[in-house]
Amino acid sequence: MPTEILMPALSPTMEEGTLAKWLVKEGDAVKSGDILAEIETDKATMEFEAVDEGVMGKILIAEGQSGVKVNTPIAVLLEDGEDASAAEAPAAKPDAKPTDTGAEPGPAEKGYGGPIGAPVAGEGSVKDAGGKDVGGKAAAPAPSKDGQRIFASPLARRIAADKGLDLSAITGSGPHGRIVKADVEAAKPGAKPAEAKADAPAAAAAPAAPAPAAAAAPKGLSTETVLKMYADRETEEVQLDGMRRTIAARLSEAKQTIPHFYLRRSAKLDALMAFRGTLNKQLEARGVKLSVNDFIIKACALALQQVPDANAVWAGDRILKLKPSDVAVAVAIEGGLFTPVLKDAHQKSLSALSAQMKDLAGRAKTKKLAPHEYQGGSFAISNLGMFGIENFDAVINPPHGAILAVGAGIPTPVVEGGEVVVRNVMSMTLSVDHRVIDGALGAQLLEAIVSHLENPIGMLA
């Protein structure tokens, strides 16, 4: 039976992507683990692997097509020996509606969906590589049990469909409870989940009363309004790619929903610069060169251990405290930015942090980071000092509890012991989520960061 290959969700935030390149063609035999395509997400270009064996029957989405929604069929996989004509997807009936299971549809596992011809849901028709409408609209909802998605291999799903088995009644023996071929073959038909009783209380069937309407978020000027304003001026329109749209959405959400407040401190860098120079001379033979940013990362990681209540994120209806110091660092790339996360940064040496940061930044610039490398963390650093920026306020990247904005180190006259001396002073601003960190706690965190930067030898202890 032909199987639709669906646009996968390659990260938790991915809603659509660009099919950058097909690495197989129609008629090619594929096996599990083969790379089928390269897909551009909102953050990176990632390889998409096959999870089934078979023959590529038909490519539905051409290379370079953007805005392909997650769970949209992108190709059809045939079983060995199946005729290529089976890859033609019949048009969905106009009155075909997805069954209401009571659970929201989830992305199909590894991007593979159910058999061709199953009812589909979603908007927008699917066209093949030649632009022909093949009728499909989107992926069918993944099976669910008690509102939770059921994980099963594509082969197990096909066997279950052939035998008339309900996957929700089968216990999986694969990794993380995944249902595999052996589980389905050993199952007996007939077991089905209990249906809702007809005499259930009317209140249970009635829709819940709507919550009081929240105040609508303010919206900016419409596209049409802005275009009219500049109709008599020479302009160039720049279409938003996935990354730019994601940045716009997340940062707009952050400023509208996170109660930011700001704490400002300066740190004298003279001792750090001298210590860095000494270390770099000693590490030169190993090809290691520490940057000021490496010291800042280490200082923040240690400070989060000293002030553990600030090592936290906002989790909707609770605060989630982290044990390790997972520090994200903003990296500017063409058209946007990444925030790769250095996990367990408090346990790593300065040279290890430096090497890892160089690797992550290099792959960020080519969009080769995997999702687990830029997701997570409780704290972020944004350093614009290398651009000569003296100070600025950064926007918190949810669900982080805080972000440190770092400015340039500038020779500044300061008073020490009743005398005016010139010191290399760096300005910092800590943007804090007031739901997670209160003012006094944020002040303690910033004090710990400054203390480490002004006494850098202690970071080696």
Domain limits, the chain? 3-78, 260-459
**Do 298 and 451 form a contact (C-beta atoms < 8 A)?**
no
Is pLDDT larger for residue 401 or for residue 333? 401
C-alpha–C-alpha distance, residues 107 and 105, integer Å: 7
Express each pLDDT in 366-394 by its tens digit: 888 888 899 899 999 999 999 999 999 99
- Provide the pLDDT confidence category of residue 125 given band limits of 50, 70 and 90: very low
Structure confidence at residue 269 (pLDDT):
96
> Per-residue pLDDT averaged across 303-326, rounded?
96
Residue at 136: amino acid letter: G
Q: What does the pLDDT read at residue 389?
A: 96
Residue 452 annotated among the catalytic residues of the structure: no
Domain 260-459 in the same topology as domain 3-78:
no
Query: What's the CA angle centered on 400, arms 397 and 401, to 5 degrees?
Result: 120
Residue tagged active-site, from 260, 372, 400, 434: 434
* Mean pLDDT in residue range 301-321: 96
The pLDDT tens digits of the residues spanning 47-66 come to: 888 888 888 888 999 988 88
Residue 17 binned pLDDT confidence (cut-offs 50, 70, 90): confident
DSSP string, 88-131: SPPPPPTT------SS---PPGGGEEEETTS---SSS--B-TTS
The pLDDT value given to residue 4? 86
Single-letter code of the amino acid located at 248: A
Give the pLDDT confidence of 244-255 residue by residue, as tens digits: 888 888 889 899
User: What does the pLDDT look like over 390-419, one tens digit per residue?
Assistant: 999 999 999 999 999 999 999 999 999 999
Q: Which of 57, 1, 51, 453 is nearest to 269 (CA)?
A: 453
- Considering only residues 453 and 112, tell me which one the structure prediction assigns the higher pLDDT: 453
Find out whether 402 and 431 touch, Cβ atoms under 8 Å: yes
Distance CA 328, CA 402 (A): 11
Superfamily in which the 260-459 domain is placed by CATH: Chloramphenicol acetyltransferase-like domain (3.30.559.10)
Query: Which two three-digit tokens encode residue 211?
Result: 């919550």
Beta-carbon contacts of residue 424 (< 8 Å; ≥ 6 apart): 268, 269, 270, 273, 409, 410, 411, 412
Predicted confidence at residue 54, as pLDDT, reads 87
Residue 8 reports pLDDT greater than 60: yes
Tell which wins on pLDDT, 51 or 348.
Answer: 348
Task: Provide the Cα torsion 11, 17, 19, 21; round to 10°.
Answer: -50
Q: Tokens 């002030």 identify what position?
A: 307
Quick one: fold of 3-78? OB fold (Dihydrolipoamide Acetyltransferase, E2P) (2.40.50)
Q: Alpha-carbon distance 320 to 203, whole Å?
A: 35
pLDDT value of residue 2: 79
- Helix (H, G, I), strand (E, B), or coil: what is residue 32? coil
- Angstrom distance (rounded) from CA 384 to CA 227: 33
Give CA separation, 261 vs 118, 351, 393, 439, in Å: 51, 33, 10, 8
Highest mean pLDDT: which range of 122-136, 156-170, 195-209, 365-379: 365-379
Asked whether the beta carbons of 184 and 156 are under 8 A apart, the reply is yes
CB proximity list for 384: less than 8 A, separation 6 or greater: 392, 405, 406, 407, 408
Q: Is the peptide bond before 119 cis (omega within 30 degrees of 0)?
A: no
Between 134 and 358, the higher pLDDT residue: 358
pLDDT band, very low/low/confident/very high, at 145 (cuts 50, 70, 90): low
Write out the H or E segment, with its range, that includes residue 354: helix 350-365
Q: pLDDT higher for 352 or 101?
A: 352
The per-residue pLDDT of the chain, averaged, comes to 80
Average pLDDT of span 344-365: 95
> pLDDT-derived band of residue 33, with 50, 70 and 90 as boundaries?
confident
Q: Can you read off the two tokens belonging to residue 315?
A: 């989790």
What pLDDT, in 10s, does the model give residues 215-226? Answer: 555 677 888 999
